[in-house]
Structure 1
Amino acid sequence: MTLLAVERIKLFTTRSPWWCALVTLVLTIGFAALIVGNSNAEVPATVASTQFGYSFGMAVIMVLAALSVTTEYRFGTIRTTFQAVPNRTAALLAKTGVVATLALVIGELSAFGSWAVGRALKPGANLALTSGADWINVAGVGVIYALAAVIAVAVGILIRHSAGAIALLMIYSLAVESLVRLIPSIGDDIYKWMPFNVADKFLTGNGASNAGRAAGDGAPMSTAVLGQGWALAYFAGFALVLLVLSLSSARRRDA
């Protein structure tokens, strides 16, 4: 508990978490207002369309998570942490837990905030959370944000440099997975197993929460072959493997 308290204090005494949280909320809720506000009878608002901006918010969350680690390496405070807590794994797990919890809270606030704005703008639209698919599409955002934060922390531990870690995370999540589909013959098959594509499958399932609207107007419809539960397990497993590799690296390398 002491380690968690220390990491919480270190995280919240810097400005970046507050700014990142604010930017995440503005982006996700702003996109919800834009998409739902422009809906009409031909292109109706749906539960999924209120979550249109979730991927943009996730990008900001990963920046926040990466900075929580790389900033310590940049200013050398990580050495003080490891001197005070020789068990590097425990110290880094505490940091990961605090950052992931913050990401979960921000994700839930942004998701339900986006949904609430949609309900306020279009009170007559079918935006009630009446099915499991609807609830997963909204409440699941926080879970994905938390796991994405774990991935970002792991990358930050491995790379240690803010610019490099952030660049890698943004390029991979926003471009690399989509570009994989351009590989002749096998690109689409590989893409079905790419982690962020699989994460989208957990949120959208078979598209039940987006009925009546184009698939692109909610969280992206996934081509992953896994069911929703297995998709979440796959993404969580990917985050866990990356974290284990980063912790192993941190124990072997000088701070």
Structure 2
Amino acid sequence: MNVLRAERIKLFSTRAPWWCSLLAVAAPLGFTLLFFLLTGAEISANVGNTQLATGVGRTVALVLAVLAATSDASWGTLRLTFQAVPKRVPALLAKGTVVFLLCALLGLLAGVGSWGLASLARPDANLGLHSAEDWRLVLGQTVTFALTGLLGVGVGLLLRSTALALTLVLVWTQLVEGLVLLIPKVGDDIYQWLPFYAASQFAGGDFTRSALNLSPPLGPWGYLAYFAAICVVFFAAGVITTDRRDA
């Protein structure tokens, strides 16, 4: 418990995590409110559409997780942590746990908040949570945000450099996954196996499937398992690598 408490204190000792947390929730909520206020009858008001902006929040949560992992190396506190906790793995697992739980909370706020604001903006629309799929779309943000946090910590531990890790995750999420679609013949097939497309298939927030009429090879829960496996592999790789090299 002391290790968890120490990681929590370290995480919130600077302003960056606070700002990232605020933005990870505020950005999806703001976009959703504007979307439902400004769009007319030509856009279907359904539960799935309340989660269209949650991908933005996941990207910010990814940035938060990377910063949480790389800041120790940047500020030299990683060495102090390992002096206090000679067995490195518990300290690294504690960091992952703290980020995982924080990102889960952010996902819950983003998912439920987006749905709630949409319901207030369009009280005439049928946005009730009537089915298991509706509940999955809203509460599923909790799971995908949390797993994204693990992924970010893993990437940060592997690369250690804040600039390099942030460049990698932002280029991947904002550029690479979209550009894959431009690859002739096989672009659509590759795209359906990319990690953040997988996350969106479980918890919504993806325009591409309907726009391109894609037929995903997995169902929502299969995609969740696939995304979780990717996140856990990166996190485990980061922990193992950090445990074996110099602080």
Structure 2 matches for 1:171-186, cutoff 5 A?
171-186=171-186
Secondary structure, aligned partner of 1:189: helix
Partner residue of 1:239? 231
Q: Are the aligned partners of 1:201 and 1:221 in contact in 2 as well (CA < 8 Å)?
A: no
TM-score w.r.t. structure 2 length?
0.93
d(CA) in 1 for partners of 2:213 and 2:134? 14
Deviation at 1:194, TM superposition (A): 1.3
Partner of 1:77: 77
Q: Structure 1 residue 215: deviation in Å?
A: 4.1
> How far apart are 1:222 and its partner, in Å?
6.7
Distance 2:232 2:168 in 1: 18
Answer yes or no: is 1:94 the counterpart of 2:94: yes
Structure 1: stretches of 5+ with no match in the other structure:
none
In structure 1, distance between residues paired with 2:144 and 2:213: 15
2:59 — aligned with what?
59
Q: Answer yes or no: is the 8 Å Cα contact 2:52–2:204 preserved in 1.
A: no
Q: TM-score, normalised by structure 1?
A: 0.90
1:45 is matched with which residue? 45
Please report the RMSD computed on the Cα atoms of aligned residues, expressed in angstroms.
Answer: 2.1
Shift of 1:41: 2.4
State the identity as a percent: 43
For 1:29, the aligned partner's letter is: L
Equivalences for residues 167-246 of structure 1 within 5 A: 167-204=167-204, 215=210, 223-246=215-238
Tell me the distance in 2 between the aligned counterparts of 1:52 and 1:200.
9
Report deviation, 1:184.
2.8
Aligned to 1:157: 157
Count how many residue pairs are aligned between Structure 1 and Structure 2: 246
Residue aligned with 1:65, SS: helix
Query: Aligned letter for 2:171?
Result: I
- Residues 47 and 134, structure 1, Cα contact 8 Å, conserved in 2: yes
Question: Unaligned 5+ residue runs, structure 2?
Answer: none
Offset at residue 223 of structure 1 (A): 4.9
SS at match of 1:181: helix
Kindly indicate whether the alpha-carbon contact (under 8 Å) linking 1:35 and 1:52 is maintained by their aligned counterparts in 2: no
- Given the superposition, is the C-alpha separation of residues 171 and 223 from structure 1 closer, same or farther in structure 2, using an over 3 Å criterion? farther
Residue 191 to residue 42, structure 1, CA distance change in 2 (3 Å): closer
Code of the residue aligned with 1:196 in structure 2: it is: F
* Distance in structure 1 (CA, Å) of the matches to 2:182 and 2:125: 38
Alignment match, 1:28: 28
Which AA in structure 1 matches 2:64? L
SS of residue paired to 1:166? helix
* Contact 2:65-2:99 within 8 A present in 1 as well: yes
Cα deviation code 1:125-166 (max 9, x no counterpart): 111111111111111012111111111100100111111111
Q: In 2, distance between residues paired with 1:110 and 1:193? A: 25
